[in-house]
Chains A and B, each alone.
Chain A
Amino acid sequence: MSFRKRLLAGLTLAIGLGALVSAAQAQDVPSLKGKRIGITVAGTEHYWDLKAYQGQIDEVKRLGGIPVALDAGRNDSRQIAQIQTLIAQKPDVIVEQLGSAPVLAPWLKKIRAAGIPLFTVDTISPYSINDTTSDNYSIGEKLALQLASDIKGRGNILVFNGFYSVPVCAIRYDELKLVLRAFPDIHIIQPELRDVIPNTVQNAYSQVTDLLQKYPNKGDIAAVWSAWDVPQVGATQAIIAAHRTEVRTYGVDGSPDVVKMVADPNSPAAAVAAQQPYLIGKTAIDNVARYLAGDHDLPPYTFVPAILVNKENAAEAAKELGQS
């Protein structure tokens, strides 16, 4: 545990330094002229996905490369077919963003077996040369600590855990469980909830509405946690509709509508860990450009800083995130 803490502290420092360094080096990114960069993403209907996708495409174009950009529309079969065709196209690099790890693993392996360098965005994979992502360990930990402290270390919480197969969601969930070990009076209501795609908001709304009826008394439920912020939107709306605004909601990503909800002093949305998806996409491509220019000494992870937005810092954070 303490070793992990030290590691995290070290990483945080490294990220801080990395951010400074990358800011200084922004103009030094090598050109991608004549290079074809395959970009395959699981879907783009969510703010985070779309921004990270656009960040990649824009940066490839800015650096003079040709993006072969493929959006699978949240359909695993389609993404696999797109990756299969992409391998046959032999681009200079393939960048993969999100999706289910077990589904993707054999196909990411095939990318490497075909001799094509693989980079990932927000996807941990042994086949990836570099994964550009937020530090999800720190995100999960900070969000869980904020929750625990807001509810004074006591109460029952609802947890949406539908996407444990997506590695970043698994990390955030595991960090929540780790933090909760120190708070024996916080209990996760069983069974856990499953968030779904599509109709995430409506589905979360109806699930939370049902559970608010099942636990009708003030104090029965202290908070709702989800690994991203779209279920958080549905949960927050359901809580408002049921006049149970003592229940707080927590999520990850920081879509502008959720940051606004957190900024509203009357909203049950208590905190959201806001990432910088556009910058993540852009940074991933900068790493690709460095690699293709001969820098084969890239770190396995590049962390882009995230901000925990809560009731106190929401207005300021929105500015920092470029959302206001």
Chain B
Amino acid sequence: MSSNLIAEQAPAFLDSSADLEDRETRRARHRSQIIRLGSIAALVAVFAYFGVAAPGFANLGNLANIVEQSTVLALLAFSMSIVVLGGGGDVIRGGIDLSLGANLGLCAAAFTVASNAGFSDPVAVAITLAVGAAVGLVNAFAVVALGVLPLLATLAVMNICGGAELVLTQNTVISANSPLLSYITGASWLGLSMTDWILVGAAILLIALVHGTRWGLRLQAVGGQRQAARAAGLRVSAYLTGTYVAAGLLAALAAIVQAARLSGSSPGSGDILLSVVLTSLMSVVFSRRLLPSIGGTLLSVLFIGGLINGFQLLNVSSYWVNGVQGVLILFVVAVRSLSLRRGSV
């Protein structure tokens, strides 16, 4: 009411405030542009350095290896980015899915157990996807229907998944062998393995879906301004549910790739969660508006993958990689906090 009053009585003030906002927005956009270009330059510089200094880094085979080694992480990081996009970027109250690592383990166990129980590959894949989607639905139920903070809801679901995996595997390695698993690790096309192609395919599909379709744009609206999206008539809860289910399905796909690489199910999949959070956080510095994006996530996953690979080729102790990852996460979070403090982007 009062704002209407002001609007009627002081058009001049409003004009100047709009001007101010414009300038502020422009400045923020400028800043995020600098961060983005700086980050891309850093990535290019690091890769160029490895290309010169690390023997074999720039070989096509080695680059394909980096992509292959990054596939499981990338699929999970895509999931995380989609959930963050839909739920909003606030670290405490926004969208986050901490159950992704545990869901990966559970789905890999489900595939392995189903495969060993004599189910054919298509049935085992269907079971695995169903398990992943079910975990996503449980997350969505807790977040959307019960209104639990995503951070806490998915933390609880993480424990449920971890427990269910232990029940299935008794915390032991279970090996599996199926035509699909051999195909994923063995077959190759145009010099790239099937694992590489799964990542390429998933990335193209998700970039198109999230950044090129009406669904994707509305999803970003839901994450950016939930009230406004609701007022505009978007079914916010359906979009949020969609993000968690999509995340679950992607975790199931990642699990099948992991089962192929590890010849079955192996305890300890949950360890990947920190890397998933890191790469998803990092993705914002590679995108235009300091929001997570699929392309940005892909770049940050390849950045981490290239870093680990380059260190190994340079014969730098693998212990350093953890430290460098920590520094990166601190850098990214600092950049984000600073830019948020200076005004929204």
Contact = CB atoms under 8 A, between A and B. Distances in A.
A76 B258 CA distance: 10
Contacts of A194: 170-172
A77 B312 contact: no
B196 to A, nearest CB: 12
Interface string A69-88: 11111111100111011101
Contact of B308 (A75, A81, A196): A81
Contacts of B261: 77, 80
Nearest to A68: B315
Given A89-B56, A162-B171, A196-B171, A76 B266 contact: yes
A164 B175 CA distance: 12
Interface stretch (A99-107, A182-190, A231-239, A307-315): A99-107
Interface string B4-35: 00000000000000000000000000000000
30 contacts: A68-B315, A69-B317, A70-B318, A72-B318, A76-B173, A76-B262, A76-B266, A76-B268, A77-B258, A77-B269, A82-B312, A84-B68, A85-B65, A85-B312, A85-B313, A86-B312, A88-B59, A88-B61, A88-B62, A88-B65, A89-B313, A90-B56, A102-B264, A103-B175, A103-B262, A106-B185, A162-B172, A163-B172, A196-B267, A197-B268
Q: How many residues of B sit at the interface, in one of the four size bands?
A: 20 to 34
B69 interface: yes
A136 B124 CA distance: 38
A103 B258 CA distance: 11
B253 to A, nearest CB: 16
B309 A85 contact: yes
Given A81-B69, A85-B309, A106 B263 contact: yes
A165 interface: yes
A66 interface: yes
A72 B317 CA distance: 11
A103 B318 contact: no
A206 B68 CA distance: 40
B72 interface: yes
Contacts of A163: 172
B319 interface: yes
A149 to B, nearest CB: 31
A66 B170 contact: no
Nearest to A76: B266
Interface residues of A, number: 32
Interface in B28-86: 55-56, 59, 61-62, 65, 68-69, 72
3 shortest A-B CB distances, which residue pairs? Answer: A102-B175, A165-B173, A81-B69
A244 B86 CA distance: 56
Interface of B: 55-56, 59, 61-62, 65, 68-69, 72, 170-173, 175, 185, 258, 261-264, 266-269, 271-272, 308-309, 312-313, 315, 317-319
A80 B262 CA distance: 8
A147 to B, nearest CB: 23
Interface of A: 66, 68-77, 80-82, 84-86, 88-90, 100, 102-103, 105-106, 162-165, 194, 196-197
A72 B262 CA distance: 14
A74 B268 contact: yes
Contacts of A90: 56
Contacts of A165: 172-173, 175
Contacts of A82: 312, 318
A70 B313 CA distance: 11
Contacts of A70: 312, 318
Nearest to B62: A88
Contacts of B308: 81
A162 B174 CA distance: 12
A77 B72 contact: yes
B192 to A, nearest CB: 14
Nearest to A165: B173
A102 B173 contact: yes
Contacts of B315: 66, 68
Given A71-B319, A197-B268, 19 more contacts: A68-B315, A69-B317, A73-B318, A77-B258, A82-B312, A84-B65, A84-B69, A85-B62, A85-B65, A85-B313, A86-B312, A88-B59, A90-B56, A102-B173, A103-B173, A103-B263, A163-B172, A194-B170, A196-B267
User: Which of B56, B65, B261 has most chain A Cβ within 10 Å?
Assistant: B261
A146 B185 CA distance: 46
Contacts of B173: 76, 100, 102-103, 165
A86 B315 CA distance: 10
Contacts of A71: 318-319
B32 to A, nearest CB: 33
A116 to B, nearest CB: 14
Contacts of B317: 69
B77 to A, nearest CB: 14
Contacts of A196: 171, 267
A163 B172 CA distance: 7
Nearest to B266: A76
A87 B258 CA distance: 19
Contacts of A85: 62, 65, 69, 309, 312-313
A165 B267 CA distance: 12
Nearest to B70: A81
Contacts of B309: 85
Contacts of B272: 77
B61 A75 contact: no
A288 to B, nearest CB: 18
Nearest to A84: B65
